[in-house]
Amino acid sequence: MARLVPPADGAISDHIPPGVHRVLTRLGDVAVAVFAADWQLIWWNRSWAALLGDSSSSPPQLRNFARDRFPVGAGPARLALWPVTELDRDAIDVAVVSDLRRATGRFPHDARLAELIRVLSAGNQRFAELWAMGTVAAHREDHKTIEHPSVGPVTVDCDVLTEGDSECKIVIMTTVPGSADETKLRLALVAGPPVTTNSPQTPKVGQSPQPGRAENQVVSWGAC
């Protein structure tokens, strides 16, 4: 991936440069999403939407994997709209908190990140305990089973690539070639994501996506 130059003011960037965008659009039917350094969802494609549901109807500021992972209050999940199970949930919890700790070192003056840490520390006991441990690591890979409402359970490998100085995270979900899971994922993609009335207009092909819009999104539609 091409390296990004971090913003001069030390703020987390939600910008996806054209070169990275071109790579993303060439991944075909692979389910992929892009998160900022604070795990804020900033881009996803049609396959991601078909697999996990459409986040576009959620307020942009709430489309955050860490917020879903460590909920505050009784609000609904914003990213994965149906149940997702993992092989080692505790390890992923630790990795996500460690990612955020790394981000505070890289972007110590980012207001959005500081507010996220404040809210989760005050409102989620599990997050507060892990934050106090002080572990620094990175979130790289996982195996998940998504209980899709149309095609049944789909097991995927989830890999996380971190892009250069920006700490932008590219999350890719794939199935084993030739498996029943691959067939289910293709069926989900053909069927299209559920219709939502609040879906934003689809970006034109070749146009850089705006934060919170799905590339090739049907107007109808958890990270590792």
Residue 18 has a pLDDT of 83
Per-10-residue mean pLDDT, the chain, length 224: 50 87 89 96 94 88 93 84 90 92 92 97 97 79 91 95 83 96 94 54 36 38 43
Cα Rg of the chain (Å, integer):
17
In 3D space, the residue among 48, 1, 7 whose CA is nearest the CA of residue 173 turns out to be 48
Kindly indicate whether the domain formed by 27-196 is annotated with CATH number 2.60.450.10: no
Q: What is the pTM of this model?
A: 0.81
Residue 206 has a pLDDT of 34
**197 in helix, strand or coil?**
coil
DSSP secondary structure string for all residues of 154-173 = EEEEEEEEEEGGGTEEEEEE
Burial (CB count <10 Å: 0-12, 13-18, 19+), residue 96: buried
